[in-house]
Amino acid sequence: MMFNIEIDREVDGRWIAEVPDLAGVLTYGATREQAVAQVQALALRVIADRLEHNEAPAELLSVTFHAA
């Protein structure tokens, strides 16, 4: 699985990072790096939850993130 991360900066200076392919996976950070790290952690939690509840294929999985 490869997920793109969309990053933007709000007018108040905060950074926002989102994984569009995973509904609700969006975080804010004081820095770009913090926002990216937080959104990756949240995405992994969502993927793990889906696996635990049989909502995703149980095959061996590789996850890659690409920050745009």
pLDDT tens column, 33-67: 999 999 999 999 999 998 888 887 767 678 888 88
pLDDT value at residue 55: 83
pLDDT tens column, 20-34: 999 999 999 999 999
What is the pTM assigned to this prediction?
0.86
Phi-psi label, residue 24: left if phi above 0, alpha if psi -120 to 50, beta otherwise: left
Q: How far is CA 55 from the centre of its chain?
A: 18
Burial code of 30-54, b = ≥16 C-beta within 10 A, e = fewer?
eeeeebbebbbebbeebbeeeeeee
- Domains recognised in the chain with CATH numbers: 2-67 (3.30.160.250)
